[in-house]
Structure 1
Amino acid sequence: MNAVSNTGTSAVAGTALPERPIARKTRAGAPAPGFAGPGHTAMEVVRPDALARTDPFVLLMDDTLDFAPGQPVGEAHPHAGLETVTLVLEGSLDDADEGLLQTGDLAWMTAGRGLVHNEHVKATGHARILQLWVALPRSKRDGDPDLQVVPLETLPLRSEPGVQARLYSGSTGTLTSPTRNRVPMTIVDFLLAPGASTTQALPGAYTGFLYVIDGSLRAGHETLSSGDIGWLERVPHDATRLGLEAGSSGARVVLYAGRPLDEPIMQHGPFVAGSREELAAYYRAYSAGTFRRISELGRDGSRETYASPYSARR
């Protein structure tokens, strides 16, 4: 793939990249009571019912918490065969293992062969979070668990007139994220002023989606508004350009795009695997007590909190 400039054109050839279309549009589900009890509202953005089409993404939940400060959020539970990517949109969560996650912070947990998660999480009041599940490829599912914590102030920040792009993974413009990916992936949180526009370069082989948090915008010749999901499918080009233009009230939209695994994927409860036999093995291992606990990761160096030469204002 050619190097891509900040304007979404090929820096090598000097020609414009093909424009990436939105292949289809869906809507986030209606708010419903969440697993953590009264005060937890959950919206299902990506459902795990068409994994061959959403590969490598398994699900995305949009959760709102209105709890008393100090109230526990859920309880310990296992994961295996996947990664969870948690982005705090509003408020904060106090996690004894991941630290205090504030607005704009992200926690990237790799479950690998098995990890017990969410052991010591407490509310600080109101919070809204996005949690993405990403399927691990067969070659990575038996790997060691780890945790990457990405504070907002460490993010590569792309600023243009009326546009701020917070880079959590992959690249945008001339910037590259330091996060380590088992699955090649781009995650960018775009904040656009009314009428502002920008472009994002993406490999043609990437699938993924845009999730509109607020406002409205034009993307890939499709109009999207708050709660809409605009889906990207593979196209026969090495590199493409996704154009974004905010509507009259501005927009906030999160881009999740990644390279498909192109191998069998199935999900059952907190586990993702390639076969029923593999799922059954995860359940046996968890019952046998062989899963690691997330509280152990900081003690053995399997946790990383990023610091970078970039800075952003909270």
Structure 2
Amino acid sequence: MDTMTINAARIIPAVAVPEGAGVTVYRTIGTPVIRNFDPFLLLDHISSDKPEDYLAGFPSHPHRGFVTFTYMIDGHMQHQDSMGNRGDLGPGSAQWMKAASGVIHSEMPQQQNGLMRGFQLWINLPAAHKMDHPEYQEYAAEAFPVINTPDYQIKVLIGRFADAQSPIADPVTDVSYFDVRIQPGKRFQHRFSAQRHSFLYVFEGDGQLRDQTVTLHSLAALSSADETFDFTAGSKGARLLVVSGKPVGEPVVQYGPFVMNTREEIDQALQDFQTNSFVRNRAWIKRK
């Protein structure tokens, strides 16, 4: 099983990786440094105002055995899949896609120039749910609650923070996902539920996590015993993802876009894809 137990916060700088048809993404989880961080399998960050970094997009490709969550900060990306669904992701919008038994989709930029920023997180599914029917949810920016305080702003993208509830809630993966903007020199403190794996990823500015410096485009992974964190923004402020999830605790066997529990299940996914029997069920769709 390729998982990690982290006894203290570990700082992981992003590395540039070519993905899709040649798009440059900045990856933290999903590299040799941290192959996966149960239940999280991959975190990719697109951030460029150079069209050559993103115009090629992510042409049609399959997924099985996990959930993808895509969050756009700037720019416009279009989703299409093998079941006839079409989605448009603009600034501040998000897409939750439970690939489960199988989805083939594409994600293509709908702009020729300008800034493109966004994230995709892969979340593992337990064995009992890997072959569930697919589900698809897409929400515009205004659907997500925002909490404002003098020191910070929180956008609740998955789960709950205080009395603010995201329209996206998944009892199977039990993930929380927040976009937190902290004013210069101010603090953000948060307590997670017990026995979860949590991380923060800084995508604007920098700051201090206790006595550790977390720089731009770096991820700090917290141990399951570390239920609280205290982050102080630097002189220019900071903006970060704060994400937490319940570990699955099962073997992870991954072959590209297929994530199962055994090699035999991977072989079956490949056979299904090669024989055009990969997509078994139409996704349940929810948009707002």
User: TM-score over 0.5 for the alignment?
Assistant: yes
Task: State the Cα distance separating 1:216 from its structure 2 match.
Answer: 1.1
2:57 aligns with 73
RMSD value, Cα:
2.4
Are residues 33 and 277 of structure 1, via their aligned partners in 2, closer, same or farther at CA, if it must alter by over 3 Å? closer
1:84 aligns with 68
Task: State the Cα distance separating 1:244 from its structure 2 match.
Answer: 2.3
**Match 2:10 to one of 9, 19, 24:** 24
Q: Does 1:151 align with 2:140?
A: yes
1:311 aligns with none
Q: Is the 8 A contact 1:158 1:173 kept in 2?
A: no
- Which is greater in Rg? 1
1:188-218 CA distances to partner (integer Å, 9 max, x unpaired)? 0101111222222211211021110011122
**Match 2:287 to one of 289, 295, 305:** 305
2:25 aligns with 42
TM-score, with length taken from structure 2: 0.86
Q: Does 1:59 align with 2:38?
A: no
Distance 1:288 1:197 in 2: 54
**Match 1:114 to one of 102, 108, 129:** 102
Distance 1:277 1:244 in 2: 44
Distance 2:18 2:251 in 1: 32
Q: Is the 8 A contact 2:144 2:157 kept in 1?
A: yes
Q: Is the 8 A contact 1:212 1:228 kept in 2?
A: yes
Q: Is the 8 A contact 1:264 1:274 kept in 2?
A: yes
Secondary structure of the residue aligned to 1:166 is: strand
**Match 2:188 to one of 198, 220, 233:** 198
1:216-272 CA distances to partner (integer Å, 9 max, x unpaired)? 122244221102211111118xxx332222111100110121010011112111100
Q: Is the 8 A contact 2:72 2:92 kept in 1?
A: yes
- Tell me the matched-pair count: 272
Distance 1:147 1:50 in 2: 31
Whichever residue aligns with residue 305 of structure 1, its letter is R
Secondary structure of the residue aligned to 1:292 is: coil
2:3 aligns with none
1:266-307 CA distances to partner (integer Å, 9 max, x unpaired)? 21111001110111111112222223399x64xxxx11114x
Distance 2:13 2:35 in 1: 19
The 5 Å alignment of 1:1-314 reads 23-29=9-15, 31-37=16-22, 40-47=23-30, 49=32, 54-64=37-47, 66-67=50-51, 73-96=57-80, 97-118=85-106, 121-124=108-111, 125-126=113-114, 127-181=116-170, 182-235=172-225, 240-292=227-279, 297=283, 302-306=284-288
1:19-76 CA distances to partner (integer Å, 9 max, x unpaired)? xx952111111x3444323xx32222212557786111111111246449xx662321
TM-score, with length taken from structure 1: 0.79
Q: Is the 8 A contact 2:30 2:36 kept in 1?
A: no
Distance 1:249 1:50 in 2: 29
Are residues 106 and 135 of structure 1, via their aligned partners in 2, closer, same or farther at CA, if it must alter by over 3 Å? same
1:151-197 CA distances to partner (integer Å, 9 max, x unpaired)? 21111211111311011112222322231312111100101111222
Distance 2:214 2:165 in 1: 27
Secondary structure of the residue aligned to 2:192 is: strand
1:17 aligns with none
Q: Is the 8 A contact 2:29 2:35 kept in 1?
A: no
Whichever residue aligns with residue 141 of structure 1, its letter is K
After superposing the two structures, state which structure 1 stretch, 172-181 or 207-216, moved more. 172-181
Are residues 51 and 266 of structure 1, via their aligned partners in 2, closer, same or farther at CA, if it must alter by over 3 Å? farther
Q: Which runs of 5+ in 2 are unaligned?
A: 1-6
Distance 1:194 1:78 in 2: 42
